């Protein structure tokens, strides 16, 4: 059985006090679904968030990391540093990082290797831009992004990988992929995995959808057979909204 996962990507939001407040509100929510719950605060708040959620069913994950172990990389954070806090999962390849911080297929492949070498789980993000979808090449783009960063791995590595399909045109725009568009792409991704790694792998990897998921549309998106959860931006900053999405399973 694939895991259901709902992960909140806080992006560059919430200082220490706001982090404390949001976490205490999250702790008051009732979870009625089987979904794993994750939140990804900024680096500066990871330790506090980790400590504050210790007794709770909420995993604190990182939004990014560098591929190097250590050294002259001013402003960067390594997998080992995250591990030293107890962080076990990292988001890699978010479209904002690809678009604004020069993340390439090559650097992402190195980050994937570094995370796996540190026994971390990866939420690997990818997705086409609006121009790609208009030109009908969304599947080619997605296939390329997945293959370039992940397909040098052997099958067992996929036990540590969660995929997150996030069409760039749907992120923070209020524009959501229709449940059918999400399902079609997720089925295509699963087929792409199956073609190289076989059904055991393709049927066991969780594929999340991200892009303007809200309490109002989560149930319908999550009802699709190949959608195993969501990566939630804006709506993860409100505890009630976030748990309404968590409980949409």
Active site residues: 94, 166
Backbone angles phi, psi at 85, to 5 degrees: -85, -15
Stretch that binds ligand PGA, among 43-51, 143-151, 178-186, 231-239 (CB under 6 A): 231-239
* Residue 229 is a binding residue for ligand PGA (CB under 6 A): no
CA proximity to 132, closest of 86, 156, 168, 160: 168
The answer for residues whose C-beta is within 8 angstroms of residue 239's C-beta and 6 or more apart is 22, 25, 26, 28, 29
Stretch that binds ligand PGA, among 73-81, 141-149, 197-205, 207-215 (CB under 6 A): 207-215
Contact 109, 103 (CB under 8 A): no
Q: Which of residues 131-170 bind ligand PGA (CB under 6 A)?
A: 166
Beta-ladder partners of 232: 8
Whose Cβ is closer to ligand PGA: residue 138's or residue 236's? 236
Task: Give min distance, CB of 166 to ligand PGA, in A.
Answer: 6
Whose Cβ is closer to ligand PGA: residue 149's or residue 213's? 213
Stretch that binds ligand PGA, among 127-135, 154-162, 220-228, 233-241 (CB under 6 A): 233-241
* Residue 212 is a binding residue for ligand PGA (CB under 6 A): yes
Selected from 41, 127, 211, 229, the binder of ligand PGA by CB under 6 A is: 211
* Residue 232 is a binding residue for ligand PGA (CB under 6 A): yes
* Residue 234 is a binding residue for ligand PGA (CB under 6 A): yes
Name the residue whose CB lies closest to ligand PGA. Answer: 233
CA proximity to 118, closest of 155, 92, 144: 92
Q: Is 5 helix (H, G, I), strand (E, B) or coil?
A: strand
DSSP string for 137-194: -HHHHHHHHHHHHHTTS-GGGGGGEEEEE--GGGSSSS----HHHHHHHHHHHHHHHH
Contact 209, 227 (CB under 8 A): yes
- Measured distance CA(221)–CA(140) in Å, rounded: 23
Selected from 172, 196, 216, 240, the binder of ligand PGA by CB under 6 A is: 172
How long, in residues, is the chain?
249
Selected from 197, 233, 242, 246, the binder of ligand PGA by CB under 6 A is: 233
What is the widest separation between alpha-carbon atoms in the chain?
Answer: 48
Whose Cβ is closer to ligand PGA: residue 35's or residue 201's? 35
Contact 108, 149 (CB under 8 A): yes
Task: Give min distance, CB of 165 to ligand PGA, in A.
Answer: 11
Residue ranges binding ligand PGA (CB under 6 A): 9, 166, 171-172, 210-213, 231-235
């Amino acid at each position: 059985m694939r895991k259901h996962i709902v992960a909140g990507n806080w992006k560059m939001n919430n200082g220490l006090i706001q982090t404390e407040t949001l976490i205490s509100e999250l702790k008051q929510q009732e979870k009625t679904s089987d979904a794993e719950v994750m939140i990804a605060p900024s680096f500066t708040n990871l330790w506090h968030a980790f400590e504050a959620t210790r007794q709770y069913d909420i995993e604190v994950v990182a939004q990014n990391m560098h591929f190097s172990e250590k050294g002259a990389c001013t402003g960067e954070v390594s997998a080992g540093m995250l591990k030293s806090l107890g962080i076990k999962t990292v988001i890699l390849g978010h479209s904002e990082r690809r678009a604004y911080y020069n993340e390439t297929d090559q650097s992402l492949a190195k980050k994937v290797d570094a995370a796996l070498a540190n026994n971390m789980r990866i939420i690997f993000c990818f997705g086409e831009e609006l121009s790609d979808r208009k030109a009908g090449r969304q599947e080619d783009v997605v296939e390329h992004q997945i293959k370039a960063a992940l397909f040098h791995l052997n099958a067992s590595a996929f036990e540590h990988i969660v995929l997150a399909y996030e069409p760039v045109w749907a992120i923070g725009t209020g524009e959501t992929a229709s449940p059918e568009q999400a399902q079609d792409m997720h089925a295509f991704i699963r087929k792409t995995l199956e073609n190289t790694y076989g059904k055991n792998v393709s049927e066991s990897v969780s594929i999340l959808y991200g892009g303007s998921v809200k309490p109002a549309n989560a149930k319908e998106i999550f009802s699709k057979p190949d959608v195993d959860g969501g990566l939630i931006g804006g709506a993860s900053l409100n505890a009630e909204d976030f748990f309404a999405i968590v409980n949409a399973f």
